[in-house]
Amino acid sequence: MTIIDGKKISQEIKNEVKQAAEKLKSEKGIIPGLAFILVGENPASQSYVKSKGKACEELGFYSVTERVPATISESELLEMVERFNKDEKIHGILVQLPLPKHINEQKVIEAISPAKDVDGFHPASVGKMMIGIDTFYPCTPYGIVELLKRSNIDPSGKHVVVVGRSNIVGKPIANMLVQKKEWANAIVTIAHTAAKDLSYYTKQADILIAAVGKANAITKEMVKRGAVVIDVGINRVEDATTKTGYKIVGDVDFDGVKEVASAITPVPGGVGQMTIAMLMVNTLHAAGGKLA
């Protein structure tokens, strides 16, 4: 059984991005620029933006973080997005989700210029992804594809079962892996909690991608021996033995499933590490750079 090390692979990607960014700066005088908009005081959102800003600093990117109160009006937020759309130093715009209920998230996503949509959520990016045109891909699914590629796990002809149908992970990873291209070309099934017997689907998977949002939802009995298991979940569960009183676990019961899987991603240290790395790749591409 192989543990797929997202921390190691994401660092490899960031090293490649840093070299490409240095080349872009020396040859064209362009520094990739990323703008973060953080609305409100959500602790998880604050942590994510801090990590992304740290990655920008590490790779020599220019970044700016706009922190605004949860009471900001939708029109004010849209004006801020438009300001960054027009800012030539900014190549990527990231509005950290979720947003307060009085703001229409889709309206904000669609306000971002498709040329700066480094999150890969704009309908223009999603449409291109759907029909197989190169575009900005959502960072977590993009990270999953890179994990498979750099672990030499070719999904071509394999049965991939995705558990989850979110716009952020489930739907895009299914679309990316079904494309007729290298490191895709899979037979893809999307399963979710409406299934009367979820294990009927999961046990068919050569590659099982769990994006359920529920701690330890995928157990050993639900996984075919020899399957590759990709755990997208990040769940906080109580644990009195830790200083914080909680621990982070995935959607997969790691200790049980690792006994039957041929390869598995841990949580933490798996897919989560890749999301930020791929955001940096998208921003590099938005600035006109490319990996070697």
- Residue 224 counted as domain residue: yes
- Residue 20 counted as domain residue: no
Token pair 């490409």: residue: 20
Do 211 and 108 share a structural domain? no
What is the structure's pLDDT at 243?
Answer: 87
The CATH number linked to 35 is 3.40.50.10860
Domain final residue pick, 76, 97, 113: 113
Q: Which residues of 206-245 are buried (b: 16+ CB within 10 A; e: fewer)?
A: bbbbbbbeebbbbeeebbbeebbbbbbbbbeeeeeeeeee
Q: Choosing from 5, 14, 96, 231, which is the catalytic residue?
A: 96
Instruction: Clarify whether 96 is annotated catalytic.
Output: yes
Q: Choosing from 119, 206, 231, 251, which is the catalytic residue?
A: 119
pLDDT, one tens digit for every residue, the chain (292 residues): 999 999 999 999 999 999 999 999 999 999 999 999 999 998 888 988 999 999 999 999 999 999 999 999 999 999 999 999 999 999 999 999 999 999 999 999 999 999 999 999 999 999 999 999 999 999 999 999 999 999 999 999 999 999 999 999 999 999 999 999 999 999 999 999 899 999 999 999 999 999 999 999 999 999 999 999 999 999 988 888 888 888 999 999 999 999 999 999 999 999 999 999 999 999 999 999 999 7
Long-range contacts, stretch 23-29, CB < 8 angstroms, 24+ apart: 23/289, 24/284, 24/287, 24/288, 24/289, 25/60, 28/288
Do 153 and 240 share a structural domain? yes
Q: Distance between CA atoms of 258 and 93, rounded to whole angstroms?
A: 38
Q: Distance between CA atoms of 271 and 5, rounded to whole angstroms?
A: 9
Q: Choosing from 5, 14, 52, 117, which is the catalytic residue?
A: 52
2-3/33-39 β-pairing: unpaired
What is the structure's pLDDT at 242?
Answer: 87
What is the structure's pLDDT at 244?
Answer: 87
DSSP string, 254-286: HHHHTTT-SEE--SSSSHHHHHHHHHHHHHHHH
The amino acid that residue 207 corresponds to is: I
Do 251 and 155 share a structural domain? yes
The CATH number linked to 196 is 3.40.50.720
210 SS3 class: strand
Q: Six-digit token pair at 73?
A: 């009006």
What is the structure's pLDDT at 91?
Answer: 98
pLDDT tens across 234-259, in order? 998 888 888 888 899 999 999 999 99
Q: Distance between CA atoms of 30 and 45, rounded to whole angstroms?
A: 29
What is the structure's pLDDT at 239?
Answer: 87
pLDDT tens across 38-71, in order? 999 988 889 889 999 999 999 999 999 999 999 9
Strand order in the sheet with 2-3: 2-3, 263-264, 228-231, 207-210, 159-163, 187-191
Do 233 and 173 share a structural domain? yes
- Residue 284 counted as domain residue: no
Instruction: Clarify whether 52 is annotated catalytic.
Output: yes
- Residue 255 counted as domain residue: yes
- Residue 72 counted as domain residue: yes
Q: How far is CA 84 from the centre of its chain?
A: 22
CA separation, residue 274 to residues 73, 143, 188, 197 (Å): 33, 5, 22, 31
Q: How many domains does the structure of the chain reveal?
A: 2
What is the structure's pLDDT at 292?
Answer: 77
- Domain containing 236 equals 138-272
